[in-house]
Structure formats: C-alpha cells, structure tokens
C-alpha cells in the first residue's frame, strides 16, 4: 500500500508540474515573446536547446544558443524529392507540427511519417544531390516569426500566474 501511495504521489507531482509548465512564457533578452516553454535538452556539447510552442505557428520549434548572448530558431537539413533541390520538401524524424529555419526561410512539418527516396538535400543554402531512403515528414512554408530570427539573451521564463520572471542563460 505504501508503494502505491508513493507512486500516486509522484504522478500527482508530475501532473501538477506539467500543467504549470504550460503557462511559462519564454521571452528574449529584449522581451520579445517567443512562445511557451515545451521541453529542454542539455548536453556537454553544442546540442543544447529548448523547445518552445509558438501559438502563431501552432507548432513547436527549438531555440539554440550561438553564444552566451545570441540565440536563434534551430535550423535543419531539408530533403527534396528531386535532384538540385527541387520537388517536395521533407525533414527527418521530427514531431508534427515542428518549425525549422533553413537559409532564411521557415518550414513546418505536416502529415504522417513516410519513407521516401530523397534525391537532394539543403543545409544553409548548399544543395547536394543524394540518393537515400529516409523516414520523413513533409514540410510546408510558414511565415517568418513575429520576433527576429537571431535574438539576444539571456532568455527569460515568465510564469503567467504572476510569479517572478526567472532569467536562465542557456550558454555553456
């Protein structure tokens, strides 16, 4: 019985923390509204980021630090159904809907996962012809964000229930 009570207590704490996280606004160092905190990933390398839900896009996107003072919407490799970066656009293994940046444009994942033969890929404006079977989501173009693509830090996390703003630098 003790074990069951303890497990229920842990679930209640988890549920309470989950619902409170949904109310945490994420702001840039210049107080630009970026969205609502979704989740985070930290490691000792360069792959640390937080995920934010943006209601304008109705999608999640990742914010990664370029330095202690500068952040951006995370980019990713776009795959194409034809050579020379033409045809339908795709991205590997992301949730739906998810927004990425690539060469100054913004894309959101859509639809179900599918396996395609990618014929080319683009990373930061460089197109490379390939021939690779991959599991992907299709991409659609979305409007640029209401905030600047590169924004200053530190990021601010503001609980909408009136609690104080917490400033958390995301750099190394």
pLDDT, residue 72, reads: 77
Among 42-51, 60-69, 163-172, the minimum mean pLDDT is found in 163-172
The set of residues, in sequence order, having a beta carbon less than 8 Å from that of 61 and lying 6+ positions away, is: 35, 51, 52, 54, 73, 74, 98, 99, 100
Among 22-31, 74-83, 130-139, the minimum mean pLDDT is found in 22-31
The set of residues, in sequence order, having a beta carbon less than 8 Å from that of 11 and lying 6+ positions away, is: none
What six digits make up the tokens of 171?
């750099």
Would the pLDDT of 141 be above 80?
yes
pLDDT, residue 63, reads: 87
- Rounded to the nearest integer, the mean pLDDT of the chain is 78
Would the pLDDT of 62 be above 80?
yes
* DSSP secondary structure code for residue 75 in this structure: B
State how far Cα 148 lies from the chain centre: 15
Task: Label residue 106 exposed, middle or buried (CB < 10 Å: 0-12, 13-18, 19+).
Answer: buried
Would the pLDDT of 165 be above 70?
no
8 A C-beta contact, residue 80 and residue 87 = yes
Task: Give me the helices (H) in 27-156, please.
Answer: none
pLDDT digits (tens, 9 = 90+) for 6-22: 222 332 333 344 444 44
Q: Kindly list the domain boundaries of the chain, sorted by start residue.
A: 24-158
8 A C-beta contact, residue 89 and residue 103 = no
Higher pLDDT, 170 or 131: 131
pLDDT, residue 163, reads: 54
Cα atoms found within 13 Å of the Cα of residue 112, Cβ hemisphere only:
2
pLDDT band of residue 49 (cuts 50, 70, 90) is: confident
What is the pLDDT averaged over residues 130-159?
A: 89
- Kindly state the helix (H) or strand (E) to which residue 5 belongs, with its residue range: helix 2-21
pLDDT digits (tens, 9 = 90+) for 20-46: 444 899 998 889 999 999 988 776 666
> Pairing mode, if any, of strands 70-73 and 59-65?
antiparallel
């Amino acid at each position: 019985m003790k074990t069951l009570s303890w497990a229920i207590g842990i679930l209640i704490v988890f549920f309470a923390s989950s619902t409170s996280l949904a109310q945490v606004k994420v702001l840039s160092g210049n107080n630009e509204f970026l969205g609502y905190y979704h989740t985070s990933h930290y490691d000792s390398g360069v792959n640390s980021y937080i995920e934010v839900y943006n209601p304008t896009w109705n999608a999640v996107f990742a914010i990664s630090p370029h330095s202690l003072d500068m952040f951006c919407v995370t980019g990713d490799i776009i795959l194409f159904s034809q050579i020379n970066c033409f045809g339908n656009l795709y991205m590997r293994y992301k949730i739906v809907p998810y927004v990425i940046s690539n060469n100054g444009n913004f894309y959101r994942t859509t639809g179900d996962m599918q396996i395609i033969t990618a014929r080319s890929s683009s990373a930061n404006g460089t197109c490379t012809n390939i021939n690779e079977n991959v599991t992907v989501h299709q991409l659609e173009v979305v409007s640029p964000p209401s905030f600047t693509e590169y924004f200053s830090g530190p990021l601010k996390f503001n609980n909408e229930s009136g609690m104080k703003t917490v400033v958390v630098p995301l750099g190394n």
